[in-house]
Structure 1
């Protein structure tokens, strides 16, 4: 290529994130005979799941989190594993950093129930521990049960949570830039450990936070860990467009996914960012069989394990904590006040109920099965992935596994080879850091950017 010839745009690369929720996303997954019942706190088992995803060349593994128990009914709660029996995710990915070498490691941490300095130090440490493979899933938390563990009676209002989150993020990223990349000399002869001119205090004073800084750890290997956000409401989309590298989302059909994709990319550009530097990953749950009947049989055996009381409680939770026991189970979903948890989740569920004329009982069963779940052969699941990817409804998928390890193993051994056969997915990692494997740039320090502007 000559100096004057235009640079060809990079071909799009399909990205896959493994959403690991041991023993599986399905609320009764722990009862399946193929699962490990104590998987949520069985580190050897979780390590094997991460290594399976790494062998398959997933971009990252991801661990969600709540800092409270969502179900108030103890009879229901006693039948569920995932909210009662799981590792704190930043602690977990620190352990996984030593057990893996190339796969990204993403953990959830709340901007509502943390302080910026502590969280900035945690994720900077994780990025150093992993050699540049850490990611932070930025959430504002969901429910009153979380608030009541932190001295509050109820969860902060939706708009206030996002306002606080925007300032929280600005403080954290400012702290990550406390030291320039080349600040640490560690010169034993001269006795100079770091260049004092390359240290920057933050001195942040805002509506929600006052943080002086600096952070007491070098700048993360990636500049900043990969930022993940699930922005579906208007406030969530605005935050995602301004800060996120990866966006988790959920849409029941391609048309909705395409509309969201176009909207988020446009918002990203309007925020002064390159839309190609934001990776949109809708959720995709799969049950794979070598034949359709085999796959359907797997799902039927799994869903038969769910107690109806748990299904109803889960529906009530995602609708915003409404008491559904006051309404006939075989009647329609009542009109609901706006949720202070996830407004987008409530909206999607209500739209599904109205469109399908579903009763509360039918809706609970459908939600338990998860509308993201594709039941099929490797070829039919690859068809779905290819259609959404090439149709600009997704840059890849946040792959959810109903029960583990089987659905992960099936995806890795059956679906990924089919994606490779079609030329859609990598055969090897192309970089050492999570940013590199996602095709994202390493961001310069805010201080170097300021200095560059001052020299113009």
Structure 2
């Protein structure tokens, strides 16, 4: 019998898989990462498993020093528009950087995707990570962390105002009267803020689901505050259940302080899974992928995650504790995760690289379908999370393993749906369709 509370499961689409060197396996999909048919296949596979959404991340630069890793390829909104035509129910979530996009550009893209997909669009608002990205957008470097989040706050306000600039009934399409739209139901935005000036209205009528669903993935103090104010679902980073529980408790208390229902925002930690008929088979899958690990490239990635230089560090000596995260300008969530692995595992450099090989330090579950379902259920029922953002080591094989083997076990236990509850991403996530704001907020 189904429980009243149901898991949310999301597939994080990323190249040939989340194992940094899994693409070197002779059976990998590395030669397909520029083929839209490949992503359509992954979206259909996620939909067969009744997953909430696929998440297509984005980056704005290529690290040429990390030549062994697959760089960014297709632009996500373009790819998701094609994936929308190949599916009917699965949500379609993309990263949009508030540091580089304008509210009008982002609102137009996401509203279009929502119309194309019939109400399945989601946006993961980020503030971006690296100065190399900024230099591709006319900046010498990214602004400071606090300024980036200040800009993101205003970005969301202006973007939501644009989505609300049309009422649901603004399109009258009255052929006899020669009236296509009702001007009284389309209003300007007139946003004047510190970072953006937007007249509006948007050139796209109101979205099928009112507004695209707003995801957030920051782990810093500013990121958590932003999530508590704006997020409708959260992607998080947690190495273990204890850290996940601490994060969830903190976010839920912040939601309550913002006057929001503490249980209204699903928290979805990243999850790497290796599934086998036996635990030994699952471990062998990991061992095979790890055998392709390039130590030099793995150290280059660790350097990027931490801002430290481990190039001369002996592989079999323990890694020292990292400095406090507030001195690191890069991705805080990843930094904090590496910091926790070092604190809890006291690993050698070689061991740390192994932990980070797939998923960069996100939770990792290895075993039979029943064993993995047991772990998922323990995290879920303890309140450590509301579901997971699946980071399969390989695509499509890793996702197929999860959909074909783990999902049925979760369904049998009443923890996960067997069909979609509706047609929009909001319905899938159990979120209400937002009412149109009476007036657009304009920062002073």
8 Å Cα contact 2:321-2:342 kept in structure 1 = no
Which residue number in structure 2 is paired with residue 136 of structure 1? 123
Which residue number in structure 1 is paired with residue 137 of structure 2? 150
Which residue number in structure 1 is paired with residue 249 of structure 2? 262
Q: Does 1:58 align with 2:45?
A: no
Which residue number in structure 1 is paired with residue 41 of structure 2? 48
Q: Structure 1 residues 362 and 253 mapped into 2: Cα distance closer, same or farther (>3 Å)?
A: closer
CA apart distance, 1:72? 4.6
CA apart distance, 1:354? 3.7
CA apart distance, 1:13? 1.5
Superposition map of 1:421-432 within 5 A? 421-432=412-423
CA apart distance, 1:67? 0.6
Counterpart among 346, 359, 364 of residue 357 in structure 1: 346
Q: Distance in 2 between matches of 1:424 and 1:324?
A: 43
Which residue number in structure 2 is paired with residue 119 of structure 1? 106
Which residue number in structure 1 is paired with residue 171 of structure 2? 184
Q: Structure 1 residues 448 and 151 mapped into 2: Cα distance closer, same or farther (>3 Å)?
A: closer
Which residue number in structure 2 is paired with residue 289 of structure 1? 276
Which residue number in structure 2 is paired with residue 33 of structure 1? 26
Superposition map of 1:77-116 within 5 A? 77=67, 79-81=68-70, 83-84=71-72, 86-116=73-103
Which residue number in structure 1 is paired with residue 221 of structure 2? 234
Which residue number in structure 2 is paired with residue 437 of structure 1? 428
Q: Distance in 2 between matches of 1:309 and 1:375?
A: 26
Q: Look up the SS of the partner of 1:193 in the other structure.
A: strand
Q: Distance in 1 between matches of 2:124 and 2:332?
A: 18
Q: Structure 1 residues 114 and 242 mapped into 2: Cα distance closer, same or farther (>3 Å)?
A: same
Q: Distance in 1 between matches of 2:438 and 2:175?
A: 27
8 Å Cα contact 2:170-2:186 kept in structure 1 = yes
TM-score (normalizing by structure 2)? 0.94
Alignment gaps of 5+ in structure 2: none
Q: Does 1:405 align with 2:415?
A: no
Counterpart among 146, 157, 168 of residue 155 in structure 2: 168
Higher mean C-alpha deviation, range 434-443 or range 257-266: 257-266
Which residue number in structure 1 is paired with residue 356 of structure 2? 367
8 Å Cα contact 2:20-2:357 kept in structure 1 = yes
What is the root-mean-square deviation in Å for CA atoms of aligned residues? 1.8
Q: Look up the SS of the partner of 1:441 in the other structure.
A: coil
Q: Residue by residue, what CA displacement relative to the aligned partner does 1:328-383 show, whole Å, maximum 9, x if unpaired?
A: 55463375472111123212212322443333343223212444221100001000
Q: Distance in 2 between matches of 1:72 and 1:148?
A: 15
Q: Look up the SS of the partner of 1:26 in the other structure.
A: coil
Which residue number in structure 2 is paired with residue 253 of structure 1? 240
Q: Distance in 2 between matches of 1:126 and 1:437?
A: 17
Q: Structure 1 residues 357 and 449 mapped into 2: Cα distance closer, same or farther (>3 Å)?
A: closer
TM-score (normalizing by structure 1)? 0.91
Which residue number in structure 2 is paired with residue 4 of structure 1? none
Q: Distance in 2 between matches of 1:278 and 1:12?
A: 13
Q: Distance in 2 between matches of 1:168 and 1:256?
A: 30
8 Å Cα contact 2:126-2:218 kept in structure 1 = no
CA apart distance, 1:326? 5.2
Q: Distance in 2 between matches of 1:355 and 1:399?
A: 23
Q: Distance in 1 between matches of 2:100 and 2:52?
A: 28
Q: Residue by residue, what CA displacement relative to the aligned partner does 1:310-334 show, whole Å, maximum 9, x if unpaired?
A: 11011111113x3332555546337
8 Å Cα contact 2:239-2:340 kept in structure 1 = no
Q: Distance in 2 between matches of 1:49 and 1:405?
A: 6
Q: Distance in 2 between matches of 1:48 and 1:72?
A: 29
Q: Structure 1 residues 448 and 277 mapped into 2: Cα distance closer, same or farther (>3 Å)?
A: farther
Which residue number in structure 2 is paired with residue 219 of structure 1? 206
Higher mean C-alpha deviation, range 339-348 or range 227-236: 339-348
Q: Distance in 2 between matches of 1:24 and 1:55?
A: 19
Q: Structure 1 residues 148 and 94 mapped into 2: Cα distance closer, same or farther (>3 Å)?
A: same
How many residues end up aligned between the 2 structures?
Answer: 434
Alignment gaps of 5+ in structure 1: 1-9, 451-456
Which residue number in structure 2 is paired with residue 388 of structure 1? 379
Which residue number in structure 2 is paired with residue 199 of structure 1? 186
Q: Distance in 2 between matches of 1:208 and 1:131?
A: 32
8 Å Cα contact 2:165-2:188 kept in structure 1 = yes
Which residue number in structure 2 is paired with residue 20 of structure 1? 13
Which residue number in structure 2 is paired with residue 341 of structure 1? 330
Q: Distance in 2 between matches of 1:449 and 1:353?
A: 46
Q: Distance in 1 between matches of 2:268 and 2:336?
A: 20
